[in-house]
Amino acid sequence: MVDGLRAYALITGMWVRSTLAYRASFAMTVVANFAVTALDFVAIMIMFGHVDALGGFAMAEVAFLYGTTSAAFGLADLLLGSMNGVGQRVRDGTLDVLLVRPVPVFLQVAADRFALRRLGRVSQALLVLGWSLVQLDAASWSAGQWLMVPMMVLSGTAIYGALYAGGAAFQFWAQDAAEVQNSFTYGGNTLLQYPPTVFGAELVRGVTFVVPLAFVNWVPALRVLGRDDPLGLPGWVDFASPAVALVCCAGAGLAWRAGLRGYRSTGS
């Protein structure tokens, strides 16, 4: 395990050095990565220029949802986002190279083409989160409310990470279907930026019980913001995010193992 993480650090370090070789391009990618998400938020600000509340939620509350999900997603994207490329490796046969190296394939794939530019998204998300905390007068919050914020971000990172890993495992069977994963990762992140009251009850139920994205922020955030849960779940569920994240990671781990075991080289 320690050896594996050391290898992950070595590979990511190598990619960081390699990207820094083209400094102008690197600077632009960081700016772009920051700006992509910033413009997302500008769109939300323009919306609130026309209305006072969306689905009964004020701007600061939406910013809180936005900050928590984007920070979690940004961290997962930074650590595991490269797993998206596994289908390409299966298709052209370069996955074989990873199999003969004495480092877990999972970590090699995760560290492959590690992109430091993804810090742009994380920093933008943290800025919005910070702004929302000021607006929501978080100074008057209880310690419990405060503790739930890092819990959401860390559990959320694990849930999004599990989606990335599970999606990568899926690509062992459907190599060309890499884009389906975007529906759950990018799509999930977009979904969770808005309050659950905006969406149909069926959709909310789906992302609570089937793909448990709601545990990234919706379920715990409603408690922090003192809002009613539209599904009327029991109160203890609000604190279940870490457990849900653990189950997701275990599931993704099993899927990854099954996928890797079923891998057949293209043999060319």
Partner 1 sequence: MHAVRLSLTVAGHSFRRYATYRVATLAGVFTNTVFGFILAYTFVALWHERPQLGGYTPEQALTFVWIGQALLATVALMGGGVEEELHGRVRSGDVGIDLHRPADLQVWWLSADLGRAAFHLLGRGIVPLAVGALGFPLALPALPLPWLLFLVSVALGVVVGFAIRYLVALSAFWLLDGVGVRALSGLLGVFFSGMLLPLTLFPGVFGEVVRWLPWAAMLQVPADVLLGVHRGGDTLAALAFQAGWALALLALGRAVQRLAVRKVVVQGG
For partner 1, the binding residues (CB under 8 A) are 22, 24-29, 31-33, 35-36, 39-40, 42-43, 46-47, 49-55, 117, 174-180, 182-183, 187, 190-191, 194, 198-200, 203
Q: To the nearest whole angstrom, how small is the minimum distance from the Cβ of residue 57 to partner 1?
A: 10
CB–CB of 69/189 below 8 Å?
A: yes
Q: To the nearest whole angstrom, how small is the minimum distance from the Cβ of residue 96 to partner 1?
A: 22
Name which of 106 and 170 has its Cβ closer to partner 1.
170
Name which of 191 and 252 has its Cβ closer to partner 1.
191
180: its two tokens = 């389906």
Tell me which residue has tokens 């075991």. Answer: 261
Name which of 49 and 232 has its Cβ closer to partner 1.
49
CB–CB of 186/213 below 8 Å?
A: no
Closest CA to 78 of 11, 18, 12: 12
Name which of 53 and 243 has its Cβ closer to partner 1.
53
Q: To the nearest whole angstrom, how small is the minimum distance from the Cβ of residue 251 to partner 1?
A: 21
Q: To the nearest whole angstrom, how small is the minimum distance from the Cβ of residue 250 to partner 1?
A: 25
Q: To the nearest whole angstrom, how small is the minimum distance from the Cβ of residue 94 to partner 1?
A: 17
Name which of 82 and 107 has its Cβ closer to partner 1.
82
Q: How far apart are CA 188 and CA 90, in angstroms?
A: 26
Q: How far apart are CA 64 and CA 56, in angstroms?
A: 14
Q: To the nearest whole angstrom, how small is the minimum distance from the Cβ of residue 122 to partner 1?
A: 16
What DSSP string describes 125-178? HHHHHHHHHHHTTGGGS-HHHHHHHHHHHHHHHHHHHHHHHHHHHHTTT-GGGH
Name which of 107 and 169 has its Cβ closer to partner 1.
169
Name which of 48 and 239 has its Cβ closer to partner 1.
48
Q: How far apart are CA 184 and CA 206, in angstroms?
A: 12
Neighbours of 176 (CB within 10 A): 10
Closest CA to 159 of 61, 33, 250, 259: 250
Q: To the nearest whole angstrom, how small is the minimum distance from the Cβ of residue 128 to partner 1?
A: 16
CA distances from 89 to 97, 170, 264 (A): 10, 13, 12
Q: How far apart are CA 230 and CA 202, in angstroms?
A: 11
- Which residues are CB-contacts of 11 (< 8 A; sequence separation ≥ 6)? 107, 108, 111, 112, 114
